[in-house]
Amino acid sequence: MIHKAVKHLKSADPVLERIIERVGPVSTKATRVVVFQSVGQAIIYQQLSAKAAGTILNRFKALFGDGLFPSAEQVLAIPPEQLRSAGLSRPKANYVRGLAEKAAAGSLPTLQECDTLTDAEIVQRLTELKGVGRWTVEMFLIFNLGRPDVLPVHDLGVRRGFQIAYDKRKLPEPEQLERFGEKWRPYRTVAAMYLWRAGDSS
């Protein structure tokens, strides 16, 4: 997929072509971990820098002793205050606990179920969960399921990368980025990967 994506993006957008040439290959390998873990990690990363979120995620996993992401049952076995001791805000601690309740009850879709659903169907289903917005589901689609055509237009890193790459005076509005990104279909995920890298390398 990555070779087809790069070929398409280069032919569709000369600015992105220059970024691709400068950055080189990117990985789109999906992690394919259980839905509870992937969405839970995305909740922890909401509205934080990758560095800060990574620190909190490690502290969160350390609460359970083995350094691995806990099961839903393990999360439910400790008080919410203990989750907050890892650095989670009160709302995020509640969201993770609520997600664990859904997982323990068997209410979350399995990876196999997700494979039968469209991106839009997964967005609709998972955003019904408290604390799970569109950005969180988009991170799940990109990094856990490896879906090829996801453009997270509200992501600050993607917007910042676009601003830098296209030499804009201000950040693009999500609607503007959505319209511009039509030319990148059906490989908007790879375009987003390169915009992230463009922002990182500035």
Q: Would you name the residues annotated as active-site residues?
A: 155
The position carrying tokens 């990574």 is 54
- What is the per-residue burial (b if ≥16 Cβ within 10 Å, else e) of 81-103? eebeebbbeeebbbbbbebbebb
Query: What's the rounded Cα separation, in Å, for the pair 46 and 87?
Result: 13
Give yes or no for a contact between 18 and 195, defined as CB atoms under 8 angstroms apart. Answer: no
Query: What's the rounded Cα separation, in Å, for the pair 161 and 196?
Result: 6
Length of the chain: 202
- φ and ψ at 193, to 5 degrees? -55, -45
